[in-house]
Amino acid sequence: MTAIDATFQVTSSVDEGSLREALEYVGVPLRLEQWNTEASADAIRHYAMALGDPNPLWQDESYARGSVHGVLVAPPTFLYSVYIGFALGLPGLPAYMRRADWVFLDRVRLGDRLRASVFLRDAALVENRHGGKRIHQYARLEYSRTTATGASTPIAICDDTVVRPPGPGHQGALAYEPRPEHRYSDAELADIEQAVLAVRCRGAQPRYWDGVEVGDQVGRIVKGPYTRMTMLCYHMGAGGSSIYRAFDNWWRNRHLARTDPGALPTSTINPGAYAGTGVTPLGHHDSAIAQILGMPGVYDNGPQRTGLLANCLTNWMGDHGFLYRLTHELRAPVILGDTLFIEGTVTGRPDSIEESEPVPLIDLGSFGPVEIELAATNQLGKVVSTAKAVVLLPRGR
């Protein structure tokens, strides 16, 4: 650690006082700092590259102009590059994404100006099966398309669950056994290469609702092995946290955190994270800190993993399909050296979405919903993520 890193502390326990503090933020308007404010061609391409998603609908303007959309389109989870999430209050507790429940109402298209907002819906004191207590914070992220006149149209909602376990040494703290970075034989790397090269994006060929059956497989994609370059690419495309700033910006924000926290770019992140007392983001880069936090090693980014699951779905559904819902549950850490194998199964094909559901901004009469369950499994056979999704497919003609 450097002299600055050495000031990082995560030592708090969790109790009723922690819950009272967390509840103080419920419903309070929050300032946030967006990473992207417009869906430019470069912003869309950089985000797609951050997921390793070569779909030409996101990256090739010539292809996109000839597609059913007539314009470049962003991956559904591109909205994470507008605003990625929060870790509100409770400065002595690390923060980890546990669940993301997305509802997409429209596609993001080239040139869209975008606005995000966030508020804390609730908080709860949760006891795990070992008797350890943790705080769960439930936030709502809302994304809109805006015009020059200030009018806005909602295009997506994400309900996030963030877990705040106690710091090291307290009951309920994370306590994964350290796991060395996985080493692959040449034959194993050759298998991964072949599996990646075999992945196909359906693209311009429509997949019709009428032709899908329960039990159909949603083709496997392979992402890995995870490296520090993988993490760097994601933070370049999605922006990471608001505390990921360089040189002057980092020092100025650190100074504001100690002297005028209200002037910081966002109120959704603890001032201590700017001042050098927040540790969780460093676990994405530093193995020693990750293991102090109880993680097995340098770990991945939850929104990044959500984007990989969406990648599996957009490959399968093709250009004509629309990802309507995606609910992602993070089951276990993904660390450096891991490779993810993501695949799914069609579990339902209802005639329409429920009347109580939010209505997407597409012609629902021309589409039918398909329900899908997904799982991401690492090279050790461990299921690290599960998800449920609803994809809207065009009805056959």
Give the pLDDT confidence score for residue 260 in this predicted structure. Answer: 94
The residues facing 161 across adjacent strands are 99, 138
Nearest by Cα to 298 from 225, 383, 381, 228: 228
* pLDDT above 50 (res 1): no
pLDDT digits (tens, 9 = 90+) for 155-164: 999 999 999 9
Give the pLDDT confidence score for residue 10 in this predicted structure. Answer: 65
pLDDT digits (tens, 9 = 90+) for 15-51: 999 999 999 999 998 999 999 999 999 999 999 999 9
Instruction: State the total domains in the chain.
Output: 1
Beta-carbon neighbour count of residue 127 at 10 Å?
Answer: 11
340-348: strand order across its sheet: 113-127, 133-146, 152-164, 96-104, 322-330, 383-394, 367-378, 340-348, 217-223
Which secondary-structure segment (H or E) carries 273?
helix 271-275
Distance in angstroms (rounded) separating the CA atoms of residues 344 and 31: 37
Give the pLDDT confidence score for residue 283 in this predicted structure. Answer: 85
DSSP 274-343: HHT---GGGGGT-HHHHHHTT-SSSB--HHHHHHHHHHHHHHHH-TT-EEEEEEEEE-S--BTT--EEEE
* pLDDT above 90 (res 240): no
pLDDT-based confidence at 11, cuts 50/70/90?
A: low
Give the pLDDT confidence score for residue 3 in this predicted structure. Answer: 41
Distance in angstroms (rounded) separating the CA atoms of residues 14 and 128: 12
* pLDDT above 90 (res 130): no
Give the pLDDT confidence score for residue 257 in this predicted structure. Answer: 87
Give the pLDDT confidence score for residue 9 in this predicted structure. Answer: 60
Asked if residues 376 and 383 have their Cβ atoms less than 8 Å apart, the reply is yes
pLDDT-based confidence at 241, cuts 50/70/90?
A: confident
pLDDT-based confidence at 226, cuts 50/70/90?
A: very high
pTM for the model stands at 0.95
pLDDT, mean over the chain: 92
SS3 53: coil
* pLDDT above 70 (res 280): no
Nearest by Cα to 350 from 364, 338, 362, 336: 364
Report the CATH number at residue 10: 3.10.129.10
Give the pLDDT confidence score for residue 12 in this predicted structure. Answer: 81
Give the pLDDT confidence score for residue 397 in this predicted structure. Answer: 64
Domain extent at residue 173: 5-394
pLDDT-based confidence at 115, cuts 50/70/90?
A: very high
With 0-12 CB in 10 A as exposed, 13-18 as middle and 19+ as buried, what is 259?
Answer: exposed
Report residue 119 as tokens.
Answer: 């508020």
∠ CA 268-323-52, nearest 5°, is 75
Beta-carbon neighbour count of residue 44 at 10 Å?
Answer: 28
Give the pLDDT confidence score for residue 75 in this predicted structure. Answer: 98
* pLDDT above 90 (res 104): yes
Distance in angstroms (rounded) separating the CA atoms of residues 345 and 217: 5
* pLDDT above 80 (res 96): yes
168-176 mean pLDDT: 90
140-157 mean pLDDT: 94
